[in-house]
Amino acid sequence: MSVVHPSPTGLQPILKPQAHHAPGNFFTKYIFSTDHKIIAIQFLFTTLLMLIVGGALALAVRWQLAFPWESMPIVGPWLFSAEAGQISPEFYTMLFTMHATVMIFLVIIPILAGTFGNLLIPLMIGADDMAFPKLNMLSYWFIWPAIICFGMSFAYAGGPAAGWTAYPVLADLAQAAPGSGTAQTLWLLGVTFVGFSSMMGSINYMTTIINMRAPGMTFFRLPLTIWGLFITAILQAFALPVLTAGGFMQVTDRLLGTCFFYPSGLIINNADPTIGGGQPLLWQHLFWFYSHPAVYIMLLPVMGMISDMLSCMVRKPIFGYRPMIFSMSAIASLGFIVWGHHMFTSGMNPAVGMAFMVATMMIALPSAVKTFNWTATVWGGKVEFNTVTLNCIGFLSMFVVGGLSGIFMAAIPVDVYFHDTYFIVAHFHYVLFGATLFGVFAGIQFWFPKMFGRMMNEKLGKTHFLLTFIGANGTFFPMHFLGMQGMPRRYADPYLHGYLEHLLPMNQFMTISAILMGSAQILLFINIFYSMFFGPKAGRNPWNATTLEWTAPSPPPHGNFDEPPIIFHGPNEYAVHNGDKDFLLQTEKECEPPKPSDSETENNTDNDQETSS
């Protein structure tokens, strides 16, 4: 059944479907599964669970900022009866540290790479599974030791209290703060486990994309989603080892007293801890060398997914397919040389700062190009405002705000003022919450039929979008103003300082918006669980989309395709004349010659060349 087609890349595609073997028992089918789609679903539910945890932590943080030192409703008296339900400053530090940790390491990164990466890579390139299915399974199961470490650190050891950036000396010396003891070591261990998980994922994704593309699937016919995931995997593979090394150094500092990150002569809690010889700056370089690329790890897959979804929703090919790829690559490579923009006030040589500044300014450029391309994709399209479209537009408008506030921070003198104030918090929430999560919401709604064979509810989806969008803007936009007024982040009680006293009402407004936004997520969960069982059955291709996954059954069986697909052209052939359809699947060979009114006659079935109109 498998005819071997000459691969256009010269590489021999792997064409032995491991498909259609016996499903095995419940245990091997749903728990220790090596099927990429099941693993994707495992990642989905785990990360959604973590989203609830991270969201609850965020609401607790916001509670303190709106009603400082007032007893937390409902959970307060139960959690800390000794303090009459109050949040103590120690607990507050731990709250925002864990909030950020959970959101970044257990929500955003695994939902993108884990859920969408796993689900889409084999399906979109026409493979029957990942290159290393067992490694894939392991990458999911390594999330759990991380969750356990974080949980233990939180519940048993008093909680890490040094922020998610874990800057030494605070994070490096056990005496430096409550929660800098065992909790911090456990936290580092947790991060290392997440790192292992990502690393296994990224190796798998790279190998799969390079080696297992179906015949005809050249690199320039890959859907942009795959490009986004591919570039992300490369970023992970290069950046992550640095963080892991840094993490080990911090662990040995803590346990063996190696002093990589602290100098001698410190006096902490009235005692001179040890000899020294290290430098806290070293950690910052190592940390941001990973964590700056990491912000693109949290964004690039969404950029790819949005491109495919938007193009399908407006029934137009993506505008500037190749520029989209080049801009993603530019973001990724520039992403490696701008980590210093997190350190403009750190005491790093200010002249070096200038180099980082210019590089950072330049990284705004590919982001702008992408925004223009998306807008141009909408231009002249046929727009139907369903949940997917709405979330895509939500992504676009939030990303623009986040991108533009980035320019303020690239300007060093302005950044020096804004650094570590709420302006920064506004910026990364616009990007991470605003852009990434809206992209994720769109992606869930869009690929849900492929995952579960059923459609999600549109009314619930739209209401969820509406409330989330209002809540998000109400919560995060005023943060810009807080930042302008100089409110530092990570303050349990900013109103202690005269120049911040008047900010309480604004913070209360934001907290109310946050509660609205948080409650809106209940709709998402209802929608998911209701539709999983009772949603209308979806056919193979409910969106009339063009990419490969829509040629497989919904949900696809273990092994994915009925027969190995062959690919004839690029990924977004919409607005074509294909009988009574306006789209051309990647596996369809040809379509009716277009009417002469269409300018690009000869390029209709081939977008390998960039065409201009």
Find the binding residues for ligand HEM in span 30-59 (CB under 6 A): 55, 58
How far apart are alpha carbons 575 and 316 in whole angstroms?
Answer: 6
Considering the rule CB under 8 A, would residue 69 count as an interface residue with another protein?
no
Q: In this structure, are residues 259 and 277 in contact, taking their beta carbons and an 8 Å threshold?
A: yes
Considering the rule CB under 8 A, would residue 281 count as an interface residue with another protein?
yes
How far apart are alpha carbons 561 and 554 in whole angstroms?
Answer: 11
Is the CB of 117 or the CB of 556 nearer to ligand HEM?
A: 117
Among residue numbers 480 through 519, which ones bind another protein (CB under 8 A)?
A: 480-481, 484-486, 488, 490-494, 496-499, 502, 506
Residue of the chain from 38, 104, 191, 378 that contacts ligand HEM (CB under 6 A)? 104
User: Helices 350-378 and 300-313, interaxial angle, to 10°?
Assistant: 20
- Min dist CB 161 to ligand HEM, Å, is 11
Q: In this structure, are residues 118 and 39 in contact, taking their beta carbons and an 8 Å threshold?
A: yes
* Residue 514 binds which of ligand HEM, another protein, Cu ion, none (CB < 5-8 A, kind-dependent): ligand HEM
Q: In this structure, are residues 230 and 152 in contact, taking their beta carbons and an 8 Å threshold?
A: no
Dihedral over Cα of 100, 102, 108, 114: its sign: positive
How far apart are alpha carbons 330 and 335 in whole angstroms?
Answer: 8
- Beta strand segments in 464-570, E: none
Among residue numbers 366 through 395, which ones bind another protein (CB under 8 A)?
A: 368-369, 371-373, 375-376, 378-385, 390, 393
Q: Hey, how many other C-beta atoms are within 10 angstroms of the C-beta on 589?
A: 10
Is the CB of 176 or the CB of 545 nearer to another protein?
A: 176
- Min dist CB 115 to ligand HEM, Å, is 15
Among residue numbers 260 through 299, which ones bind Cu ion (CB under 5 A)?
A: 292
Per-residue binder mask for another protein (CB under 8 A), 249-268, x = binder: -------------xxxxxxx
Is the CB of 193 or the CB of 289 nearer to Cu ion?
A: 289
Joined together, the tokens standing for residue 386 give: 């369903």
Among 384, 403, 441, smallest CA distance to 582 is for: 384
Choose the binding region for ligand HEM from 259-267, 301-309, 349-357, 430-438 (rule: CB under 6 A). 430-438
Is the CB of 103 or the CB of 147 nearer to ligand HEM?
A: 103
Residue of the chain from 4, 245, 255, 416 that contacts another protein (CB under 8 A)? 416
* Residue 3 binds which of ligand HEM, another protein, Cu ion, none (CB < 5-8 A, kind-dependent): none
Residues shown for the chain: 613
Residue of the chain from 124, 401, 432, 503 that contacts ligand HEM (CB under 6 A)? 432
Is the CB of 292 or the CB of 316 nearer to Cu ion?
A: 292
How far apart are alpha carbons 483 and 421 in whole angstroms?
Answer: 5
- Min dist CB 219 to another protein, Å, is 17
Among 130, 139, 131, 124, smallest CA distance to 32 is for: 139
Is the CB of 209 or the CB of 239 nearer to ligand HEM?
A: 239
Considering the rule CB under 6 A, would residue 89 count as an interface residue with ligand HEM?
no
Considering the rule CB under 8 A, would residue 276 count as an interface residue with another protein?
yes
Per-residue binder mask for another protein (CB under 8 A), 205-224, x = binder: --------------------
| Total site size for another protein, rule CB under 8 A | 125
Among residue numbers 516 through 545, which ones bind ligand HEM (CB under 6 A)?
A: 517-518
Considering the rule CB under 6 A, would residue 377 count as an interface residue with ligand HEM?
no
Q: In this structure, are residues 209 and 125 in contact, taking their beta carbons and an 8 Å threshold?
A: yes
Q: How many Cα atoms sit within 13 Å of 557 on the Cβ side?
A: 11
Residue of the chain from 5, 285, 462, 489 that contacts ligand HEM (CB under 6 A)? 489
* DSSP run (H or E) holding 577: strand 574-578
Could you tell me which residues are beta bridge partners of residue 271? Answer: 268
Among 135, 246, 146, smallest CA distance to 193 is for: 146
Per-residue binder mask for another protein (CB under 8 A), 320-339, x = binder: xxxx----------------
* Cis status, amide bond into 122, omega within 30 of 0: no
| Total site size for Cu ion, rule CB under 5 A | 1
* Residue 412 binds which of ligand HEM, another protein, Cu ion, none (CB < 5-8 A, kind-dependent): another protein
- Residue 206 C-alpha from the chain's centroid: 18
Is the CB of 66 or the CB of 314 nearer to another protein?
A: 314
Joined together, the tokens standing for residue 19 give: 């498909």
Choose the binding region for ligand HEM from 18-26, 429-437, 558-566, 570-578 (rule: CB under 6 A). 429-437
Is the CB of 292 or the CB of 464 nearer to Cu ion?
A: 292
Is the CB of 66 or the CB of 331 nearer to ligand HEM?
A: 66
Q: In this structure, are residues 400 and 371 in contact, taking their beta carbons and an 8 Å threshold?
A: yes
* DSSP run (H or E) holding 234: helix 224-256
How far apart are alpha carbons 129 and 114 in whole angstroms?
Answer: 14
Contacts for 369 with CB less than 8 Å, ≥ 6 apart: 320, 323, 327
Is the CB of 87 or the CB of 545 nearer to ligand HEM?
A: 87
Q: Hey, how many other C-beta atoms are within 10 angstroms of the C-beta on 289?
A: 19
Q: Which residues contact ligand HEM by CB under 6 A?
A: 55, 58, 61-62, 96, 99-100, 103-104, 108, 163-164, 425, 428-429, 432-433, 437, 475, 489-490, 514, 517-518
